[in-house]
């Protein structure tokens, strides 16, 4: 069964289309209007081996907030829809990712409950047009709409680009592990019988 989803969202602030294939090859076509976010989503797709398309038209004349937030909402919804009932899914994933002087860790539980722990130090306010504070907001919105637990921590790092890149790569790799099908799992990976 194909684990794919397409989400469309239109508000007065943004118009977004997200297409996802969890069992992809890491291909992406990303255009959010925020170049640094495009870069992060491209490497998220590549390192998670997810095929992802994102097209977003947002009110960037104001700032990047709505485009970043709504893209995360749609991506989270796409993962939730593509995962369906989560039958046979590994549920948990963890990854450490270095990026030069930076080391990040992400841990995922596809529990059906949203919770984010984000321990990341910001060393500057902007990367290009991307507001650095929006990185945490991206993951909070994604977590809420995918209904998963996500714990992100950066142990050390100086360059803000490297810090956020290590976070996105770690999250991608942890999510890739958590979403894998394990043929040994009967039903869902839970003693209560549902996720």
Pick the CATH number of 4-179 from 3.30.230.40, 3.30.360.10, 3.40.50.300, 3.30.40.10: 3.30.230.40
Q: Residues with Cβ < 8 Å from 44, sequence gap 6 or more?
A: 50, 52, 168, 169, 171, 172
Whether residue 1 is predicted with pLDDT greater than 80 in this model: the reply is: no
SS3 162: helix
pLDDT band, very low/low/confident/very high, at 101 (cuts 50, 70, 90): very high
In which element (H, E) is residue 182 found? none
- Binning pLDDT at 50, 70 and 90, where does residue 170 land? very high
Percent of the chain with pLDDT over 90: 95
Q: What angle do CA 102, 159, 164 make, to 5 degrees?
A: 70
Give the C-alpha separation, 139 to 136, whole Å: 5
Instruction: Take residue 19 and report the two structure tokens written for it.
Output: 């297409």
Which residue has 């397409």 as its token pair? 6
Work out the percent of the chain whose per-residue pLDDT is above 70. 100
Reported as a single tens digit per residue, the pLDDT across 54-100 is 999 999 999 999 999 999 999 999 999 999 999 999 999 999 999 99
Residue spans per domain, the chain? 4-179
Q: pTM of this prediction?
A: 0.96
Q: Which residue has the higher pLDDT, 195 or 13?
A: 13
Q: How far apart are CA 95 and CA 173, in angstroms?
A: 6
Mean of pLDDT values over 42-48? 98
The reported pLDDT for the residue numbered 192 is 85
Kindly indicate the confidence band of residue 193, based on its pLDDT and cuts at 50, 70 and 90. Answer: confident
Q: How far is CA 20 from the centre of its chain?
A: 12
Calpha distance 52→25 (Å, rounded): 10
């Amino acid at each position: 069964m194909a684990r794919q989803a397409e989400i469309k969202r239109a508000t007065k602030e943004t118009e977004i289309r997200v297409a996802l294939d969890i069992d992809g090859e890491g291909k992406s076509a990303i255009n959010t209007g925020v170049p640094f976010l495009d870069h992060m989503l491209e490497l998220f797709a590549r390192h998670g081996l997810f095929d992802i398309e994102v097209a977003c038209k947002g009110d960037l004349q104001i700032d990047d907030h709505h485009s970043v937030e709504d893209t995360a909402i749609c991506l989270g919804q796409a993962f939730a829809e593509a995962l369906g009932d989560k039958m046979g899914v590994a549920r948990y994933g963890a990854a450490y990712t270095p990026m030069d002087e930076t080391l990040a860790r992400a841990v995922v539980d596809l529990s059906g409950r949203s919770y984010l722990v984000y321990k990341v130090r910001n060393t500057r306010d902007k990367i290009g047009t991307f507001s650095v504070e929006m990185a945490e907001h991206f993951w909070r919105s994604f977590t809420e709409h995918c209904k998963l637990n996500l714990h992100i921590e950066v142990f050390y790092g100086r360059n803000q680009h490297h810090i956020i890149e290590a976070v996105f790569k770690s999250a991608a790799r942890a999510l890739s592990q958590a979403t894998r099908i394990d043929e040994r799992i009967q039903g869902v990976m839970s003693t209560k019988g549902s996720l």
